Amino acid sequence: MYTQAMDIPDVAAKPAGVSRTPDAQDAAFEARIDTDGRIEPQDWMPEAYRKTLVRQISQHAHSEIVGMLPEGNWISRAPSLKRKAILIAKVQDEGGHGLYLYSAAETLGTSRDQMLDALHSGKAKYSSIFNYPTLSWADVGVIGWLVDGAAIMNQIPLCRCSYGPYARAMVRVCKEESFHQRQGYEALLVMMKGSDAQKAMVQDAVNRWWWKCLAMFGPPDADSPNSAQGLRWGIKRIGNDELRQKFVDATVPQAEVLGVTLPDPDLKWNEARQHHDYGQIDWAEFWATVEGDGPCNRERLATRVKAHRDGQWVRDAALAHARKQQQRKNKEAA
């Protein structure tokens, strides 16, 4: 596993640079947060802040990687070359986002291997939306429209996150993500103007994904233990319920343009609130899936574990070759 001791300075305990009293460090940190300043990798930070960020950023990265699977499921069967190319590019982007995020997390003193171990052992979570199966080609478009749409709502505020590397990674991610949502929506638009079979495919996909996407924003604020501290630390900027409401309000008119019915009989405009009312989310199902008992949890994880295990010989070969090259260089120099 991880290297310990040797002659490594005890960097975890020693803050970079200055010796300040803990209160002074804490005060400086809080002051920076209060004025919407940025915390950078070498700045002192409370251990709880660091731990929260490592968890959140790495789980965000894992989500991108696991998210490649339900969509990757349709690359080989995409019904046109244009759609195939768009989908490969999207899944490749997601891999790239995972990379930016693992990179940001590593600035906090964790490593790619540590993070992957946590994922593969089941300790780390990833966005539970990816624990559902993609059963038709229309699912790909619906994921672009609704899942990426929900993700964008969550992610834009993160561009102002207090932790510099995370905020900067999110700026890159958001630029690319809005493109994905538009492409998904456009694919659905084309299908909804097509044959009855295509329209039925889209409606079926919407029926299966709508409620799951609403749950993506997380439980109601009253039931979210981590939210308050996240808000305090400038990691989380907007509450779950507010984001979910924004998403519903934005999506209803999009659904109308498409000509699909959102599967919620309680969904209606509330003139007094100036927002859409919507029905009850099945939180029991959400929690069961988050806890590991959804339709595809085991499959997603097993697939990632297999890829990692099967790839060990390749990673070892590259390292072995690099070492040989280094040794040859050293010999020549000597």
Q: Is 12 exposed, middle or buried (0-12, 13-18, 19+ CB in 10 A)?
A: exposed
**Cα angle for residues 255, 62, 80 (degrees, 5° grid):** 50
Element (H, E) at 277: strand 275-277
Toward other proteins, which CB reaches closer, 32 or 246? Answer: 32
Cβ proximity of 308 and 69 under 8 Å: no
Q: How far apart are CA 328 and CA 306, in angstroms?
A: 34
- Compute the least distance from the CB of residue 99 to other proteins, in Å: 6
Scan for tokens 């609130």, then name that residue.
273
293 secondary structure, DSSP code: I
Least separation in angstroms between CB 168 and other proteins: 8
CA distance linking residue 183 with residue 181, whole number of Å: 5
Taking the least distance from each CB to other proteins, the nearer of 186 and 249 is: 186
Using the minimum distance from each CB to other proteins, give the nearer residue, 30 or 223: 30
- Complex with other proteins: residue 2 or 273, whichever CB lies closer: 2
Residue 3: CB minimum distance to other proteins, A? 5
Q: Tell me the closest approach of the beta carbon of residue 61 to other proteins, in angstroms.
A: 9
CB of 248 to other proteins, least distance (A): 28
Name which of 218 and 234 has its Cβ closer to other proteins: 234
Nearer to other proteins, 103 or 245 (CB): 103
Q: Who contacts 202 (Cβ-Cβ below 8 Å, separation ≥6)?
A: 138, 141, 142, 188, 191, 192, 258, 260
The distance of closest approach from Cβ of residue 154 to other proteins in the complex, given in angstroms and rounded to an integer, is: 21
Across the strands, what pairs with 270?
275
What single DSSP character describes residue 42?
Answer: T
Q: Write out the two tokens for 89.
A: 């590019």
